[in-house]
Amino acid sequence: MIKALVFDAYGTLYDVHSVKEACESIFPEKGEAISMTWRKKQLEYCFQRQMMGRYRPFDEVTKDALHYACKSEGANSTKESEDALMDAYLKLGLFDEVEAVLRKLSNKKRVVFSNGSKNMIEPLVSGSKINNHINMVVSADEIKQYKPSAAAYAHALNRLRVEREEVLFMSSNTWDIMGAASFGFHTAWINRNGVQPETLDIQPERAYTDLNGILEWV
């Protein structure tokens, strides 16, 4: 029986590219490109630091990635503009169906598990419409190990106080889904953009276009 529903945050519950409007307002005609590069480098820097054993909190990685994105797009950023865009990351928009789906899952433990450092993920959740539908927020920063490392999922499991087979983990990020599946969680891939499935020997149990699909589990 599934007892805990565990959601990745960025790209799964929250649209990371909802910052493109803020990017566009500061850097006209470059907003979308900055947003795309920002997210790409944010992930790359996390993976690189994890492999090199040179961990830094997610807010620092995100700021480094933003700095790179601005430079790569020829945008002359300042401390003020970077601070404004970092603040926008605390106010990301929810995907359309998220609030309604979470409301229907009130009989289960609902958890956000993110690589985001507490000073990013906690304000994001508490300031959004789903705050009352989330029972716990877990950050990989608590053990300084980014997902998809096995140690990160083990930490979440310890916080949940359930068995791993009692967890359904959901993410739009294939690397996150592969990590959770490898660890032994039940997994549902939220393939929002209709991308090609990975060809690894580890696969999610289910794939859906949005969170509505997970209602069949409960």
Residue 101 to residue 89: CA distance in whole angstroms: 23
User: What is the dihedral angle through the alpha carbons of 149, 152, 157, 158, rounded to the nearest 10 degrees?
Assistant: 130
- Decide: 156 and 44 in contact? Cβ < 8 Å: no
8, 15, 59, 141: the catalytic one is 8
Q: Where are the alpha helices (DSSP H) in the chain?
A: 20-26, 31-52, 58-72, 79-88, 98-103, 118-126, 150-160, 174-183
Place of tokens 């877990």: 138
Residue 211 to residue 70: CA distance in whole angstroms: 33
Q: Sheet containing 109-114: which strands, arranged edge to edge?
A: 136-139, 109-114, 4-7, 167-171, 186-190, 206-208
Nearest Cα neighbor of 192 from 217, 211, 168 is: 211
Question: Cα dist. 129→97, 122, 157, 184 in Å?
Answer: 12, 13, 26, 31
64 catalytic residue (yes or no): no
Known catalytic residues are 8
